[in-house]
Amino acid sequence: MKLHLTRTQLGSLFAVCAAFLFSTKAIFIKQTYALSPLVDGTVLMALRMASALPFFFLIYLFSRRQAREIEKKDWILLIIAGLLGYYFASWLDFAGLMYISASLERIILFLYPTLTVLASSIIYKQRLNWKSFLAIGLSYGGTVLVMLQEQSNVPHQGNFWLGASLVFASAVAFAGYLLLTPKLIQKFGSWNFTGLALMIACMGTLVHYFIAIPQPFLLLTQLPSTVIWYGVALGFLVTVLPTVLLIQSIERLGASQSAMIASIGPILTLILATFFLGEKMNNIQWFGCALNIIGVMMITLSKKKLTH
């Protein structure tokens, strides 16, 4: 008996799988940091992007097309988007995870839709309604609640606020990337844009690594083989594969519906962090997490209504 999935069901399945794989990112990162004192955000980012680069190059090769209507400014914006979204935002996130829990990192990152709405309202001079303000208040209030609880539970944790600030800056950078992508996808096509933007991010990350690390090749030989494999897993399982799945989902469901399904990501990260990292959240933190998710889902729904 063959199982036939509709276009919507298949798109939903792709979105769920993408959300699950993306939610494992912080788990892989925290586990890798624990393996060797030589590993920091810059080193791990380089391993991740070096592993991902060949796959994104293949995506570009199979999706490239004649760029007759693409202007110089489009290429400049593409370079900015690639560096902003998957190099700078990712590096800030990796660096922040050196100081805070995987659970809190995911909750802070999940604020990016609210940042996109706030930035859009400023850029396009659109007034936010009371529902948007309520949603933003819930999401930020819940996040602050979780942050204060974690900080009080581990009062001697060094650089806590630095880590939280780095991850929030990552969310801001990723929101900026999302603001740039719609027009660029129209110009380049979704697959072509993804291949090019991620290749640019990979190359930016590797340049950063070779500039920041005094003896880059020697360091690689000193890393445990397990760290290398974790870097490969981050590159393929947590970057390439979920990116492809998300594109497939968006093509079948649309960006808004895919984003709604992706809202399960923080919950998945919290569950994985409990099982694999031994992280625990108290009832107040779970309440804050719920407020964050409700607020972000309200924002996502309001965006969906505006686009129809």
Instruction: Give the largest CA-CA distance in the chain.
Output: 59
Q: Are 118 and 125 spatial neighbours (Cβ–Cβ below 8 Å)?
A: no
Predicted pLDDT at 307: 42
Q: Percent of the chain beyond pLDDT 70?
A: 93
Domain around 206: 7-306
Provide the pLDDT for residue 308. 38
Could you give the C-alpha distances from 86 to 143, 204, 214, 229, in angstroms and in order? 23, 9, 24, 20
Distance CA 47, CA 205 (A): 9
What pTM was computed for the model?
A: 0.90
Q: Does a structural domain hold residue 1?
A: no
pLDDT of residue 149: 87
Considering only residues 96 and 306, tell me which one the structure prediction assigns the higher pLDDT. Answer: 96
The predicted structure's pLDDT at residue 132: 85
Given a cut of 70, whether residue 68 has pLDDT beyond it is no
232 pLDDT more than 90: yes
Residue 53's pLDDT is 96
Instruction: Count other Cβ atoms within 10 Å, centred on residue 144.
Output: 14
Give me the amino acid identity at 22. F
Q: Could you tell me if residue 2 is inside a domain?
A: no
Q: Which of 83-87, 130-134, 205-209 has the lowest mean pLDDT?
A: 130-134
Convert the pLDDT of each residue in 7-59 to its tens digit. 788 888 998 999 999 999 999 999 999 999 999 999 999 999 999 999 999 99
Q: What DSSP assignment string belongs to 189-254? A: -HHHHHHHHHHHHHHHHHHHHHHH-SSHHHHHHHS-HHHHHHHHHHHIIIIIHHHHHHHHHHHHH-
pLDDT band at 297 (very low <50, low <70, confident <90, very high): confident
Q: 35 versus 127: which is more confidently predicted?
A: 35
In the predicted model, what is the mean pLDDT of residues 237-255? Answer: 88
**112-116, 126-130, 131-135: least confidently modelled range:** 126-130
Which residue type, as a one-letter code, is found at position 299?
I
pLDDT score of 130? 83
Angstrom distance (rounded) from CA 159 to CA 92:
14
Q: Is residue 105 part of a domain?
A: yes
Number of domains making up the chain: 1
